[in-house]
Amino acid sequence: MICLTVEGKYKLFVEKSKRFFEDAVNNYEKQYYDLSMFSLHQSLELLLRALLIKNAREFPHSHNLKNLMETLSEMKNSECTTIIKSYLKKYGLELSIITDGYVTSRYLESSYDGSDIQKLINVVKEMKEGMQDVC
C-alpha cells in the first residue's frame, strides 16, 4: 500500500481533477453527454477534496458538491469562504444538477442537451479556477 503525504494527496487529487475536466470536454465534443456529466462531477469533487486536504487534512465522505463546498467554506481563509459562498449562491442549481447527474449517469439511462452540458462545463471551469486561486 502506498502512503502519500498530505502534499502528495493534494497534488494527486489536483492532477486527477484536471484530467477528469479534460475528459468532460472530450466527451462533450463526442456528444457523450452522460459521460461528460460524470467527469464534470469527478473533476469538481476531486478539486474540493484536494482543497479540503490542504486546509483541513480530512474531508466528509460525501459526493454532494454543495456539502463539500460548505465544509470548505468553514475553513479559516476568509477569501476562500467568500468565493465559495458566492458560488453556492450563484450556482446552487447547477451544483445540484451536476450532483444528481453523477448518480444518474452511472446507474440510469440519462439524456442531456449539449447546450446544457456546455453551460455546466463553463460553470465548473469558473469555479475550479476561482477556488484554486484563493483556497
CATH number, residue 18: 1.20.120.330
The answer to whether residue 29 is domain-embedded is yes
Query: What residue numbers bound the domain in which 106 lies?
Result: 6-134
pLDDT in tens, the chain (135 residues): 566 788 899 999 999 999 999 999 999 999 999 999 999 999 999 999 999 998 876 667 888 999 999 999 987 678 999 999 999 999 999 999 999 988 777 666 777 889 999 999 999 999 999 999 888
The answer to whether residue 103 is domain-embedded is yes
Q: How many CA atoms lie within 13 A of 55 on its CB side?
A: 23
The answer to whether residue 1 is domain-embedded is no
The answer to whether residue 95 is domain-embedded is yes
How far apart are alpha carbons 133 and 79 in whole angstroms?
10
How far apart are alpha carbons 37 and 20 in whole angstroms?
10
- DSSP one-letter code for 26: H
The answer to whether residue 23 is domain-embedded is yes
The answer to whether residue 25 is domain-embedded is yes
The answer to whether residue 59 is domain-embedded is yes
Please tell me the pTM assigned to this model.
0.91
Residue 79, C-alpha cell as written in the block: 477569501
How far apart are alpha carbons 49 and 31 in whole angstroms?
28
Q: How many domains does the chain have?
A: 1
The answer to whether residue 33 is domain-embedded is yes
57-95 confidence digits (pLDDT tens): 666 788 899 999 999 998 767 899 999 999 999 999 999
How far apart are alpha carbons 107 and 119 in whole angstroms?
23
CB of 68 within 8 A of CB of 48? yes
